[in-house]
Amino acid sequence: MDTREHHALGDIVLRVENVHKTYGENHVLRGVSLIMRRGETKVIIGPSGTGKSTLLRCINQLTTPDEGKVWLGDCEMTSPKEDINCARARIGFVFQSFNLFTHLTALSNVRIAPMKVSKMPKAEATQLAMMELERVGLADKADAYPAELSGGQQQRVSIARALAMSPQLILFDEPTSALDPELIGEVLTVMIDLARDGMTMLAVTHEMGFARVVADEIIFMEGGSILEQGPPDELVRNPKHVRTGEFLNKITELYGE
């Protein structure tokens, strides 16, 4: 985080309060709470099956929590009175599988949501989409179809698509896990630039190098709960819980970070 261009953190963008989710007898989330302010980047780490992806899906209401509340600004995402599609449009979501429309070009993949959801005129949406493709370094691939792009390029198109909706928050669910090692860096570079530009981001990732450069906080989850959270250097160098240290050591062995 030392190399980050610091910015003043603003109002609370996201508030998660006591979220629970159960599938059958599997209690996936056990009372998770967190707060994010405008301009923050937080990284969630933890072993597989501990509820990290489910938490992101509960925030975006792709999965409905059994208990607890989620606010985006002053909008309660978990309220049945809320227009969830309108509220969800204010949250970008970048999945590990790119989820691009295979029959559409990169340009069309990026401009479709502003046109369909925000009712933006095609010419304006096209200009916006080109600007976002430029932002992720893919303006020259505007007319390419997903099958003509590398995994890293497809993921960058996914990020451009999220940015085109001018989100208050972007959720990243292991955005580099499906990529070949040599393609990971190009996606992380885009994410680092977004963090330095002040985008509010919550990312599930095991890319500890990225976390240490840009994260304001690392959150360690296990067994559906937040076991420990804190500034990257503090949590990595001096974890308070044995399990946090064990997990970080395993990540170092696997990824060499």
Give the domain 12-90+167-255 fold. Rossmann fold (3.40.50)
User: Is residue 12 within a helix (H) or strand (E), and if so which, with residue range?
Assistant: strand 12-23
Provide the pLDDT for residue 80. 87
If you average pLDDT over every residue of the chain, what do you get? Answer: 92
Structure confidence by residue, pLDDT tens digits, 30-41: 999 999 999 999
How far from 249 is each of 234, 236, 237, CA to CA, in Å?
Answer: 15, 9, 11
Share of the chain above pLDDT 90, in %: 80
Task: Indicate the domain borders of the chain.
Answer: 12-90+167-255, 100-166
- At residue 88, the pLDDT reads 81
Q: Is the dihedral of CA 201, 222, 174, 3 positive or negative?
A: positive
Q: What is the pLDDT of residue 257?
A: 54
Query: pTM of the prediction?
Result: 0.92
